[in-house]
Structure formats: C-alpha cells, structure tokens
Amino acid sequence: MTQAIHPRSRKVRVLATLGPASSSPEMIERLFDAGADAFRINMSHGDQASKVPVIQAIRALEKKLGRPSTILADLQGPKLRVGKFAEGKVTLVTGHQFVLDRDPTPGDSTRVELPHREIFEAAQDGARLLLDDGKMVLRVISHGADQMTTIVEVGGTLSNSKGLNVPDMVLPMAALTEKDRSDLSFAVEQEVDWIALSFVQRPEDLMEARRLIGGKTALLAKIEKPSAIARLDEIVEQCDGVMVARGDLGVELPPQSVPPLQKRIVETARRMGRPVIVATQMLESMITSPSPTRAEVSDVATAVYDGADAIMLSAESAAGDWPIESVAMMNSIADAVERDPAHGDRVHFTVTKPDPTTADALAEAAKNIASTVSASAILCFTTSGSTARRIARERPSVPIVVLTPRIETARRLGLLWGVHAVHTRDVDSFEEMIAKAKRMVLRHRIAAAGDRVVVCAGVPFGTPGSTNVLHVVSLTGDELKNYNGGE
C-alpha cells in the first residue's frame, strides 16, 4: 500500500453500481472521491469481457489510494417471461379470461406461451400472476400440466417477452441459471469480494452457490421474494450478507408492506451479525435530475437511522445523467443523519444480544469501554474478519479500525458498518501488537496524543476465531514525536 487514507467520517457504507455512465477509471475515481465505498457490477448487462477492465480499474484505484477496494458482482438470476405475440402486443381486458400454455405458437388476445415448466408444476387455483412489473394482474382459475386459465383482474397492454412475477408460488427451480453459473465462475476468477445471489426462495438455494464459490469470496442473499421472507432467519444464517432488494419486493407485495419488511430484514441481519444493504430506487429521480425529491432524501435517511451497513445506488450511478451528484448526495444525506445527536439512540433500537462466546463478550465490552473512556477508536487484529463483524454488530460510536494480513479480508470488510480496513503485516507478540496499534491510528490520523484506543485481538496471533484480548492503549506525546509513518 502506498499511502494512508483517512477514514470516512460516516459509518454507513455507500455502494455504487457501475455502468455505461461510470465505468471509466476516471469516473470510478470521481465516484470514490464523491463518497462511494464499494462498487457493484451488475452481471445482467453486458458480457463478461466488458467487466474485466472495470474490475482492473477498481483494483488500480486501490493501489493508487492505498485503501482496500470492495467489488460486488450481482448475478442476474432466473428471468420469468411470457412468449411472443403474432402482432407484437395485445390488450388484456379486465374481467376476460386469458390462457397461458406451453405452445410456442405466437399468441393473441386469448393466449400466449409461458415457457417455464416450473410455474405449471407449482400453480394453484387462486394464485396471482403479475405481468410487466405488476402493471397487469392475472388470477389462476384452473390449471393443468401444460395450461393455465386465468381471469384478468387488472388489464393493460402486454407486449412480447414481458416479465412475469409469481408471488404466491414457491417455484421448483434453482436460483442459479446456466448464465449465473458462468458469471459466478468468472467473478471468482476475477477475485471479486462479494457475489450477490438473486431469486433466493429458501436457504437451500444458497448451497449450490456456496459450493461453486469454494470459500473464495463472500455470498450475499438478495431478499426479493415473499417466499424468502417466510424463511428469513434460515436464509440469513446461510449467507455472509443480505440485500433488501426493494424493487422486486414491491412488485410481488403491496407497496405499503415493503417499509415494515425492510425494517424486519435489516433488524434480522443485524441481530445475526450479517452486513445488510438497502437497495433500489433510493434516489431514483436523480437518474434524470441533479437533485432528489424530499421523499427520496427521507427514504435514504430512514435506512441510515435503522442502522443498515450500506445503502446502494443502482441506475442513478450506472446509467443516469448525474452519477457523481447521486453519490455525493447519498454521502451528504448519510453524513447529516449520523451527525444528528439522536442517531446513536435510533441505531440501537435494534437489540443485538451477544452469543455466549468469549469473542462476542469482548466485542460488546469493546463498545462499552470505548464509550466509557471516550476512546477515539476501536482497533482489532483479525485474519478472517469475524472479530470486525462482531464489533460492527454492536454499532459503537467510534470508528472500527481493522488490521489484517489478508487483502481478501480487508476488501470484504468494505461493506461493513463503521469499518476502516487496513491491509498490513501480522504481529507476533503482545508488545508488537500494542506498538503497531499506536502506529496505525497515528498513520491514519484517527487518534492524536492524549487519546485512548481500545484494542481487540486473539492470542496466539494469526489464529482465526481466537479473539480473547481487550486492551486500552493511551497515546503519549513522545509516541507522536517518534512516529515515522511506517508499518
């Protein structure tokens, strides 16, 4: 690493999606300067070859700035679509019947192909089918192995290959398509830090992705299906992180049910110690406007008050007219919320009880001690990142500085609340640990002479999951004079 970067003043992370408006090295650096902490690459758009220079640009920025970079590859997942029409589109009339079948013949106003065997297998009378992001609603009145007859509850114009949502069914299909498996393999080869899995319906959906990843990157579950809500705790237990994918949730569920579900997902992830991202339509109007609506500002603020680890921009930064301004706006909203004196109390509305382990007990104690002695930071040494996740779950009032000898760990921690990760050599003794802790908080301008820092580590050093040391370090004026900026 070439230089020390001062930590962000805010603790919530900003995840920016890269796309046509923001894929050049210059734009990626400008997004970082505006406040982006991590970058999302959407595998739904473009080919794999087009992603390589983007990933290389992010890693080049990492080297230039001396700060670990975080890359999330978001898999497309299965896309359910109707077939084509003889005239390109038809009008569905409310109250009329409409048939979905397995016949590939172009459709008309009475029927169309539905090329998904699994939907016929899972169909039940009374189930809803949502077309074109919920603009039209069908209700199943009879079904068989190759045909479903529906009644049109909400009509409209339906054109070729429009999307279909089935909120009332758990489909017997894998979350990974052949495209996803190829994209996942590509993402692992490119050493991305997180892989987001779409279309998660049940905890079993995560198992194949886990096996294909082989421990080489972290797995994030996108919660976008009503069936996933029914087994939320089990799904969160099986993944490394969670995304509240509000777009599809808002299609498959009534819009008014999404805000309480967002709070429930955030609370569940926090309680179980998994980083959680709130995503979709956060500053939607900034795709075409240089300023957001007041409602969007309030929406972003709510996610910050709820204690989400990260807030995400999609089309705003990927394809919009104002990508830099969108990131800067999200950064400024988060910064303003965290400066609110009430922010700390609101973040702790979610009770995160420690597990009965030494590591969890020390994480909770580190937060409490830092508050009691007015420490400038909590500093932890970690190999796997588990100590950092435990401390971040407590949402301490001070920055969490994480020192790790594994660059992979440092990069993954870029989605974790309040964490400033530093890739550095490991320590071999208690004395070296204390000396290095002092050097690092000075080097990264986190503390000054007279300040205190709470240090967490595990002895013997370099053993994952062995956190068993908690120490309060005081910085003296002599140490400040002797500091030479090295590791």
Q: Three-state SS string across 210-228, please? A: HHHHCCCCEEEEEECCHHH
pLDDT digits (tens, 9 = 90+) for 302-343: 999 999 999 999 999 999 999 999 999 999 999 999 999 999
Predicted pLDDT of residue 209 = 96
pLDDT above 50: residue 61: yes
280: annotated active-site residue? yes
Catalytic choice (10, 11, 13, 40): 40
User: Are the beta carbons of 405 and 383 closer than 8 angstroms?
Assistant: yes
Predicted pLDDT of residue 244 = 97
Catalytic choice (59, 79, 81, 263): 81
Mean pLDDT on 253-262: 93
Predicted pLDDT of residue 481 = 56
pLDDT above 90: residue 434: no
Mean pLDDT on 197-222: 96
Any idea which fold 89-165 has? M1 Pyruvate Kinase; Domain 3 (2.40.33)
Predicted pLDDT of residue 408 = 97
pLDDT digits (tens, 9 = 90+) for 126-165: 999 999 989 999 999 999 999 999 999 999 999 999 999 9
Superfamily of domain 358-482: Pyruvate kinase, C-terminal domain (3.40.1380.20)
Half-sphere exposure of 383 (CA within 13 A, CB side): 12
Predicted pLDDT of residue 350 = 83
Catalytic choice (70, 280, 404, 409): 280
The domain limits of the chain are: 13-77+175-340, 89-165, 358-482
264: annotated active-site residue? no
Phi, psi dihedrals of residue 36, rounded to the nearest 5°: -70, 130
Mean pLDDT of the chain: 92
40: annotated active-site residue? yes
The CATH class given to the 13-77+175-340 domain equals alpha beta
pLDDT above 60: residue 175: yes
**Choice among 54-63, 159-168, 295-304, 437-446 with the minimum mean pLDDT:** 437-446
Strands, E, within 50-209: which ranges?
Answer: 71-74, 89-92, 97-101, 111-113, 128-131, 136-143, 147-154, 156-159, 164-165, 194-197
Give the β-pairing of 128-131 and 136-143: antiparallel
293 or 475, higher pLDDT = 293
Predicted pLDDT of residue 2 = 37
**Choice among 171-175, 212-216, 221-225 with the minimum mean pLDDT:** 171-175
Cis before residue 167, ω within 30 degrees of 0?
Answer: no
Half-sphere exposure of 42 (CA within 13 A, CB side): 19
222: annotated active-site residue? yes
Mean pLDDT on 248-267: 93
pLDDT digits (tens, 9 = 90+) for 346-382: 998 888 887 888 888 999 999 999 999 999 999 999 9
